[in-house]
Structure 1
Amino acid sequence: MHSDEVDRTIRDLLDRTEYSLSHLRELGPGELNAHPGGHPNSPAWLLWHTGREIDMQLAHLSGGAEVWPRHREALGLGSIGDTLGYGHSAEEARSVRVDDHAALAAYIRDALAAVRAHVDDSPDWDDIVDTYDDQPVTRQVRITSLLIDALEHLAQAHYIAGMPSVIP
């Protein structure tokens, strides 16, 4: 795929992710920290993890700094907030409690802005950045993957936000 086409595709995914985030209704503290069906991942966990997976993967990919330090205090998660979330035990996932929807959204927006800045730097999309199952992973695939993951987690938060009642 030509570099301009990749740029357009990645920018489209960024726009879709930002749109999804901006159209998620604001959740109150009880809703953010609810565990529908007893699942350990609350909407707060989903939103925090959305920001973390974008932020950590992009920093690793670009060699830049994470945006997390600017949001760490506002989200008040302590050391669990420094993790990625993949592989959390049920107890660890339940320990991610955030009462401030706006602070979570600000973190995700900041992480997405970092992705947009990376795209603006015209990276080499065909650059091999990793391997998966002994197969090369390009920068294009990694950025696409992290944005799709973000969209999936935001979709889960939208689903929960649409429930008649998420507070037990």
Structure 2
Amino acid sequence: MNSAGMLTEAFDRVQEAVHAAVDGLGPDELNARLDDGANSIAWLVWHLTRVQDDHVSDAAGTEQVWFSQDWASRFELPLEKGSTGYGHSSEEVASVRVSSADLLLGYYDAVHRRTAGFVEGLDGRALERIVDEAWSPPVTLGVRLISVIADDLQHAGQAAFVRGALARR
């Protein structure tokens, strides 16, 4: 398996984990917080999708799906349009509410398709390209993509945990 195949497989596993955490849930479960300081499934999946959309779009030199496909308007969130969830307060987390699993998964799947299309043509040389010089050492495309995968899987796992905790209530 080559680099592109491994990245595709990794992002496909993220998609499976996201769907397992979200499929079949209604707005009450998606927006529920285990306590006032906890993240909801809606926030966790929205956030991991926003970060993937932001980071992959930046690396690919394309507009974020959030804007190009007008997901920002569909979500109708009381946040800055470019918000990804980094540094959100408890109140901002609570403001990320979704009307349905279809909305949340629709955005996620659109970002996944864009990501899959981008990574399928990458080779080792492309993964060595510097995409962020703000860090020391500078961040390569390969490191950025692995970072996105790791973050996405952690948040998808957290969403699965919240789903399980809600089911036991």
SS of 1:97's equivalent in the other structure is: coil
Choose which of 57, 61, 85 in structure 1 pairs with 2:59.
61
Deviation at 1:74, TM superposition (A): 2.4
Please state if 1:74 is matched with 2:74: yes
- Which residue does 1:137 correspond to in 2? 139
SS of 2:138's equivalent in the other structure is: strand
Deviation at 1:125, TM superposition (A): 0.8
Structure 2 segments unaligned to the other structure (5+ residues): none
Please state if 1:18 is matched with 2:40: no
> 1:128 and 1:82, CA in 2 relative to 1: closer, same or farther beyond 3 A?
closer
Structure 1 segments unaligned to the other structure (5+ residues): none
Deviation at 1:35, TM superposition (A): 1.2
- Which residue does 2:149 correspond to in 1? 147
> What percent identity do the matched residue pairs reach?
31
Deviation at 1:21, TM superposition (A): 2.1
Deviation at 1:99, TM superposition (A): 2.2
**Equivalents in 2 of 1:166, 1:127: separation in Å?**
46
Q: Contact between 2:130 and 2:140, CA under 8 Å: does it hold in 1?
A: yes
Choose which of 32, 45, 48 in structure 2 pairs with 1:47.
45
Q: Contact between 2:50 and 2:84, CA under 8 Å: does it hold in 1?
A: yes
RMSD value over aligned CA atoms? 2.0
Q: Contact between 1:126 and 1:139, CA under 8 Å: does it hold in 2?
A: yes
- What do the CA deviations read for 1:84-122 (whole angstroms, capped 9, x no partner)? 100112211211111211110111111111111111233
- Give the alignment's TM-score, normalised by structure 2: 0.86
- Which residue does 1:157 correspond to in 2? 159
Q: Contact between 1:36 and 1:42, CA under 8 Å: does it hold in 2?
A: yes
**Equivalents in 1 of 2:41, 2:146: separation in Å?**
23
Matched residue count: 164
- Give the alignment's TM-score, normalised by structure 1: 0.87
**Equivalents in 2 of 1:143, 1:131: separation in Å?**
15
**Equivalents in 2 of 1:81, 1:41: separation in Å?**
20
Please state if 1:9 is matched with 2:2: no
**Equivalents in 2 of 1:161, 1:68: separation in Å?**
25
- What do the CA deviations read for 1:142-167 (whole angstroms, capped 9, x no partner)? 01111221111111111111124488
Deviation at 1:48, TM superposition (A): 0.8
Q: Contact between 1:11 and 1:116, CA under 8 Å: does it hold in 2?
A: yes
Deviation at 1:132, TM superposition (A): 6.1
Deviation at 1:133, TM superposition (A): 4.5
Q: Tell me the amino acid that sits aligned with residue 64 of structure 1.
A: T
Q: Tell me the amino acid that sits aligned with residue 143 of structure 2.
A: V
> 1:166 and 1:72, CA in 2 relative to 1: closer, same or farther beyond 3 A?
farther
> 1:91 and 1:78, CA in 2 relative to 1: closer, same or farther beyond 3 A?
closer
